[in-house]
Amino acid sequence: MANPKKADLSLLKLDYNNLTSEALGENGLSEADLADLKDPLTLAIKELKTKRDQGLLPYLDLPNDESLVNSLKKLSQKGRKKYTDVLVLGIGGSALGTSALFTALKPLNYNALPDKKRLWPRLWVADNIDPEGFSALLDRLDPPTTLVNVISKSGSTAETMSQFMIAFDWLAKSLGKTALVDHLLVTTDPETGVLRKIVNDLNLKSLTVPPGVGGRFSVLSAVGLAPLALIGVDIEGLLAGAKSAVAAGFNSWSTNKAALFAGLNWSLASKKGRGILVFTPYADSLAKVADWFCQLWNESLGKAHKLDGSANTVSQTATKALGVTDQHSQLQTWMEGPADKTVLFLETLNFKSQKNIPKLFKNQEALAYLGGQSLGQLLSSELKGTSRALTENGRPNFTLTLPQVAAKEVGYLVQTLETATVLSGVLYGVDPLDQPGVELGKKFTYGLMGRPGFTEFLDRYNQGLSVKKKFIVS
Amino acid sequence: MANPKKADLSLLKLDYNNLTSEALGENGLSEADLADLKDPLTLAIKELKTKRDQGLLPYLDLPNDESLVNSLKKLSQKGRKKYTDVLVLGIGGSALGTSALFTALKPLNYNALPDKKRLWPRLWVADNIDPEGFSALLDRLDPPTTLVNVISKSGSTAETMSQFMIAFDWLAKSLGKTALVDHLLVTTDPETGVLRKIVNDLNLKSLTVPPGVGGRFSVLSAVGLAPLALIGVDIEGLLAGAKSAVAAGFNSWSTNKAALFAGLNWSLASKKGRGILVFTPYADSLAKVADWFCQLWNESLGKAHKLDGSANTVSQTATKALGVTDQHSQLQTWMEGPADKTVLFLETLNFKSQKNIPKLFKNQEALAYLGGQSLGQLLSSELKGTSRALTENGRPNFTLTLPQVAAKEVGYLVQTLETATVLSGVLYGVDPLDQPGVELGKKFTYGLMGRPGFTEFLDRYNQGLSVKKKFIVS
C-alpha cells in the first residue's frame, strides 16, 4: 500500500477512532461522552482567547518574534565559521525541547558526521550533573572552537549554575578571561537574577527568556531557537508551523486537534480511569519529543489543588516509550496489565532515508516474506498491528500522524501539544503554568549544600533522619 | 559528611524507611502491614526453592556456567585483535540488559574514546528498525573490522531478522560469502528455529540462549555476556555478584532484599493504590538499568489472568526516570499528582571520576555556596532533598544503594531484581515467565507484511478498518 502523498495531508492528523465505544465497546468513549465534551471544550477555548488577550499566555506569541529570528540567523552565520561545537548547559525546560527538536530535525548520527557532511557545528545538551557524564562531555570539546550556551531563567538553578562555573573555569583556563567572552552565550531573564547580573558585570552576550514563558513552554523562544539556529535548523519553518497551530487552537472544538487531545484524555482519565498516557513515537527521530511532552503534561497537570482551592483528584501521568523497541518490553502490560493506560502513537509517513530488506534466505518461510520490503514498511506494520491488537483487547489508543518529520510539521506538533496542555488545565481546573511542588526539594538541597539562608531546611532534614534508622537491609 | 568506605557496605543496601507509616503517616505501610508480609513472602521464597529444584528457574543457574565464561574469555581475546566494532542486532530482552550493563560498566563516552584509551572494540546495540537510525549506524561501521552478533531466541523475530538480512548482505557485499563467516556470531536456541538452521547450513559461529531462560531474564547468559566480554567487561565479577544474590534470594523474608522489594511493592499496590513504580537512578551510568527493569517488571507482572484462571486486578506498572534530570520534569507530579506512585531511587556512593565546582563568583550569594563542592555532592544532596520532600508530602519512596558501579555490584543488583520479579509473580498469583499478551500484535504485523499463514489476520485487520473512519481530524 503506497504512502499518501505529502500534499494530501495537513501538518498533523489526529485519528481517535480507537478511543471510542464503536471500536472498544464499554471501554471506549460513547457518543454521549463525546457530546459531553462540547460545552467544556468550547468554554476552555474561549478562556484561551480571553487569557491570550489579557497577555497571560505569551507562549502563543513566540512564533511572531521576527526580530529574534533575524538576530539568530546572523548569530548562526557567524557561529558557523567560528565554532565546531555548541554546548548547551540547561536542565528541564531549558534542555528537553532543544534535545527533542535537535533529534527530530538533524540526522540521527549528526554529531558523528564528518565536517563535510555536517556543515554546521555539533550540538551537545548537558542536562545532568553526573560527574562522569559531564567530565566525559567536556573531554570531547575544545574551548577555542566551542560556544557554551548557558540557559537558566532564574539564574540560580543549582545544577545549571554548577555546570556554568565549571565551564567558565574551563574556558578561562584555556582562553583567558577576555577571550572567553566570545565563547559564552547566556539565555536568562531580561532583568532579574544573578545570571543577568553576571552578564552585565562581564559584558557577556545574552538572550532573553521572555517574561511569562515557563521553561516547559519555552522551546520556541531563544531558549530552544538559539542552539537550533546555531546548528542550521530551519527555525523559520518551525515558527511557521507553530503559527498555524496557534490559529488552529482557536477552532471550534470538534475540528480542533489541541482541544480534542485535551478533551479525550480528560474524559478517559475522569470517566474511564485511564490515569496513564503512554506517549509512543514510532520513529527514532521523534523519540525525544516524548521526554519533552512528559515534562509539559506532568508538570502542568500534576497538581494537588484546583484554582478554587479544592483538592484535585484526577489527572493523568504521561510516560514515554519508543516504537518498535518498547513493543518488545511494554506491550504485555499495555495489553493485559492494569486497565489504566491510554497509548498515544506518534508516527511519520515518510522517513528521510529508507532501508530495503534484501531478498535472502528465500527457502526459509519465516524470513522470505521480509525480503523486498523496507524497514519503514515493517515499522508501519508493527504500529498498525499493535494498535489493532490493543483495540481488540479493549485498550484505548490513538494516533498522531506527521506527513514527514520536518521543521514546519514539528513546529505545528509542539505548539499543538502546548495548547492541548493549557486547555487541559482549564478542564481539570488547575493552573497549567505553575509548579508549586518542586520548591520544597530545592530548599532541602540548598540546606544540604550549605546555601546561606537555608539552615532551617538542613536542620529539618537532619531531624527527619534522626527518627528513622530501622528499615534498612544491607 | 564523608562517604562511607566501600568495605563498610554490602553490594547493595535497601532503605525503606520512607515507605512506612513512621515516615508517611496513613500513606505508609504500618507495622501490621509489614507483619502481614511474613507469611506470603515465606511461602514465596519456599516456592522459589521448590521451582528451582524442579529445574523451572534456570535463570538462577546462569552464574554457575564456568565453561561459558572460559569460552567467552577466549572469544574476547581473539576479537580484541580482530574487530574495532561489535554490532548487536536484537530487541527487547536481547538488547536491554546488554545496553544497561554496557552503560554501567564502561566509560560513558566509551565509543568516542580514541583507540589508545578504549583498548577494546566499540559496542553498538541496534534495538530498533527505524530506517534512518539503522542506516546511520551502518554508515559508521566498516565490515572488515566489525563483528555482528545477531540475537533472537526464536530466530523469527521480524525486527531482528530484518536487521540480520540487511547486515548479512552488507557483510557479503564487502567481504564475500566465505569471509563473512568470521564476522557473524549468532545467539539463538540450541536446537530449534530458523536461525539455528541457518547456523547449521552456513556453518556460522553460534552461542546458545539456554532453554527456559526468557529474554528478560537472559542478560547473564550468552545473550548479554558475549557482547560484554567482547568489550572487556569483567564478566566474572558480574557473575560473582549475581551468585551472591542468588544465595541471598533464599534468605528469610525480613533480611531478604529481593523478597522485601517484591513484598513492599505488592503491599503498596494492593493496599495503598500505588500502581506506578518510578525507577529512578541518580547516575548516568545506571540510566539504562531503568529501561531493562521496566521490561522485566511490566512484562512479568502485567497479566490479565492469575494462574488459577481468575482475573488479575492488581499490578504495578514500572516507569523510568533519571535523576537529577527528571527532577526538573517529573517532580511536580511525584509530589502533587495522583497518589498512585512509589519512587525508587537507585544511587551510587562513589563515581568513577569526580568534578569539582571552582570557587568563582564569590560575591554572588546564589552561587558562592557551590564553589569548592563537587558535582557528586550536589547530585547526592538533590537525591536526599527530593526524597525528604516526597516523604514530608506523604509520598512513598525508597532507596537502593550501590557502594560503587562495578561488575560485582551490578551483577548483584540485576540478579536481585530478577528474583524480586519472580517472587512478585507468586505474590500476585501470576506467571512471571510468560507474555501471552504480545502474540496478537505480532500476528497482525505478519498479516500486514504478507507472511504465509497469516492472511486471516490481514483480513481481520482490514475488517477492523472498514468500520471506522469517522473520528479523524486533519
Instruction: Tell me: do B101 and B227 sit in the same domain.
Output: yes
Of A22, A132, A215, the CB nearest to B353: A132
Mean pLDDT of A151-179: 96
Which residues of chain B does A156 touch, with a Cβ-Cβ cutoff of 8 Å? Answer: 366-367
**Residue-wise pLDDT tens digits, B333-373:** 999 999 999 999 999 999 999 999 999 999 999 999 999 99
Output the pLDDT for position B6: 47
In SS3 terms, chain A reads as CCCCCHHHCCCCEEECHHHEHHHHHHHCECHHHHHCCHHHHHHHHHHHHHHHHCCCCHHHHHHHCHHHHHHHHHHHHHHHHHCCEEEEECCHHHCHHHHHHHHHHCCCCHHHCCHHHHCCCEEEEECCCCHHHHHHHHHHCCHHHEEEEEECCCCCCHHHHHHHHHHHHHHHHHHHHHHHHHHEEEEECCCCCHHHHHHHHHCCEEEECCCCCCHHHCCCCHHHHHHHHHCCCCHHHHHHHHHHHHHHCCCCHHHCHHHHHHHHHHHHHHHHCCCEEEEEECCHHHHHHHHHHHHHHHHHHCCCECCCCCECCCCCEEEECCCCCCHHHHHHHHHHCCCCEEEEEEEECCCCCCCECCCCCCCCHHHHCCCCCEHHHHHHHHHHHHHHHHHHCCCCEEEEEECCCCHHHHHHHHHHHHHHHHHHHHHHCCCCCCCHHHHHHHHHHHHHHCCCCCHHHHHHHHHHHHCCCCCEEC
Chosen domain end from B179, B207, B238: B238
**Residue-wise pLDDT tens digits, A302-341:** 999 999 999 998 889 999 999 999 999 999 999 999 999 9
Q: Please tell me the distance from the alpha carbon of residue B474 to that of residue B468, in angstroms, as a whole number.
A: 15
Instruction: Tell me: do A443 and A386 sit in the same domain.
Output: no
Structural domain span for residue B456 = 436-466
**Residue-wise pLDDT tens digits, A338-380:** 999 999 999 999 999 999 999 999 999 999 999 999 999 999 9
Mean pLDDT of A36-42: 98
Output the pLDDT for position B468: 67
Alpha carbon dihedral B258, B264, B268, B271, in 10-degree steps, equals: 120
Chosen domain end from A238, A267, A300: A238
The percentage of chain B sitting over the pLDDT mark of 70, rounded to a whole number, equals 97
The alpha-carbon gap from B304 to the nearest alpha carbon of chain A, in Å, equals: 5
Instruction: Tell me: do B303 and B395 sit in the same domain.
Output: yes
Structurally, chain B folds into a number of domains equal to: 3
Output the pLDDT for position A2: 40
Instruction: Tell me: do A408 and A313 sit in the same domain.
Output: yes
Residue B296 resides in a domain: yes
DSSP designation for B10: -
Instruction: Tell me: do A17 and A86 sit in the same domain.
Output: no
Mean pLDDT of A133-144: 96
**Residue-wise pLDDT tens digits, B293-326:** 999 999 999 999 999 999 998 889 999 999 999 9
Q: How far apart are the first and last CA of chain B?
A: 59
Of A254, A378, A388, the CB nearest to B129: A378
**Residue-wise pLDDT tens digits, A381-404:** 999 999 999 999 999 999 999 999
Instruction: Tell me: do B229 and B97 sit in the same domain.
Output: yes
Mean pLDDT of A259-286: 97
Of B128, B168, B324, the CB nearest to A360: B168
Of B299, B332, B364, the CB nearest to A437: B332
Residue A472 resides in a domain: no
Residue B471 resides in a domain: no
Instruction: Tell me: do B180 and B205 sit in the same domain.
Output: yes
Output the pLDDT for position B314: 87
In a mutagenesis test of the B interface, which of A445, A462, A466, A472 is the best target, namely the one with the most B β-carbons within 10 Å? Answer: A445
Output the pLDDT for position A467: 66
Contact present, B325 and A127 (Cβ < 8 Å): yes
Which residues of chain A does B337 touch, with a Cβ-Cβ cutoff of 8 Å? Answer: 298, 301-303, 315, 317
Mean pLDDT of A121-127: 97
Residue B196 resides in a domain: yes
Q: What is the CATH number of the domain that holds B354?
A: 3.40.50.10490
Across the interface, whether the CB atoms of B442 and A132 are under 8 A apart is answered: no
Output the pLDDT for position B9: 66
Residue A470 resides in a domain: no
Residue A223 resides in a domain: yes
- Judge whether residue A8 has pLDDT over 80: no
ipTM exceeding the 0.90 mark: yes
Instruction: Tell me: do B134 and B37 sit in the same domain.
Output: no
Residue B71 resides in a domain: yes
Across the interface, whether the CB atoms of B294 and A127 are under 8 A apart is answered: no
Across the interface, whether the CB atoms of A329 and B135 are under 8 A apart is answered: no
Instruction: Tell me: do B260 and B197 sit in the same domain.
Output: no
Contact present, B171 and B163 (Cβ < 8 Å): no
Contact present, A361 and A314 (Cβ < 8 Å): no
Which residues of chain A does B443 touch, with a Cβ-Cβ cutoff of 8 Å? Answer: 385
Output the pLDDT for position A9: 67
Instruction: Tell me: do A113 and A194 sit in the same domain.
Output: yes
**Residue-wise pLDDT tens digits, B243-289:** 999 999 999 999 999 999 999 999 999 999 999 999 999 999 999 99
Q: Please tell me the distance from the alpha carbon of residue A230 to that of residue A406, in angstroms, as a whole number.
A: 17
β-strand pairing of A397-402 with A13-15: antiparallel
Place of cell 517472587: B423
- Residue B86: φ, ψ to 5°: -115, 125
Chosen domain end from A200, A220, A238: A238
Instruction: Tell me: do B136 and B19 sit in the same domain.
Output: no
Output the pLDDT for position B388: 96
Q: Please tell me the distance from the alpha carbon of residue B405 to that of residue A132, in angstroms, as a whole number.
A: 11
Output the pLDDT for position B4: 44
Q: Please tell me the distance from the alpha carbon of residue A124 to that of residue A24, in angstroms, as a whole number.
A: 44
Output the pLDDT for position A469: 72
Instruction: Tell me: do B218 and B265 sit in the same domain.
Output: no
Across the interface, whether the CB atoms of B91 and A22 are under 8 A apart is answered: no
- Judge whether residue B22 has pLDDT over 50: yes
pLDDT averaged over every residue in chain B: 95
- Judge whether residue A436 has pLDDT over 70: yes
Residue B455 resides in a domain: yes
Q: Nearest to residue A285, comparing CAs of B135, B461, B210?
A: B135
Across the interface, whether the CB atoms of A472 and B194 are under 8 A apart is answered: no
Mean pLDDT of B86-111: 97
Which residues of chain A does B167 touch, with a Cβ-Cβ cutoff of 8 Å? Answer: none
Task: List the beta strands (DSSP E) in B227-300.
Answer: 276-281
Which residues of chain A does B413 touch, with a Cβ-Cβ cutoff of 8 Å? Answer: none
In a mutagenesis test of the A interface, which of B268, B310, B328 is the best target, namely the one with the most A β-carbons within 10 Å? Answer: B328
Across the interface, whether the CB atoms of B438 and A332 are under 8 A apart is answered: yes
Across the interface, whether the CB atoms of B378 and A159 are under 8 A apart is answered: yes
- Other CB atoms closer than 10 Å to residue B296's CB: what's the count? 27
Across the interface, whether the CB atoms of A468 and B382 are under 8 A apart is answered: no
**Residue-wise pLDDT tens digits, A101-111:** 999 999 999 99
Q: Which residues of A are catalytically annotated?
A: 299, 328, 442
Q: Which residues of B are catalytically annotated?
A: 299, 328, 442
